[in-house]
Amino acid sequence: MYRVVLLALFQCLLLAGGQVCFKLAVEKIHKLQWTWEYFMDILTNWWLFASGICLITATFLWGYILKFFPFSIAHPLTSFSFIFGMLAAIFIFGESVPVTRWIGVALIIAGAFFVAK
């Protein structure tokens, strides 16, 4: 059981990391222009590349988890990505997260705990 939890935590960390990198990537993309410079900016956007690497790795890890563990246990564990997303919102993007959102995340995690038990 601990193995699937650790794998799911790592997969959720990759998912959240991919989304953070994607947000950073799209913030750097300028208004659409049909110019060579615009497309070179997109092709050389390292945040976009990092996002792709994180999300592709998370997908392969998710495939491994699905192959070797019951779906009814594996899928609820993906809710851990909510915690990583909230932490990224605070520490990377400087957002304030109200207590009600933390309560919601806590309820989701509690539900995942009971499902995985």
Give pLDDT, residue 27: 84
Report DSSP letters for 99-116, one per residue.
HHHHHHHHHHHHHHHHHH
CA distance 97 to 24: 19
Nearest to 88 by CA among 39, 43, 54, 113: 54
Residue 46 belongs to what domain range?
Answer: 2-116
53-72 pLDDT, tens digit per residue, is 999 999 999 999 999 999 98
Give pLDDT, residue 20: 96
Using alpha carbons, list the distances in angstroms from residue 99 to 62, 67, 88. Answer: 30, 37, 16
81-100 pLDDT, tens digit per residue, is 888 999 999 999 999 999 99
Share the mean pLDDT of the chain: 88
pTM above 0.85, yes or no: no
Domains held by the chain: number: 1
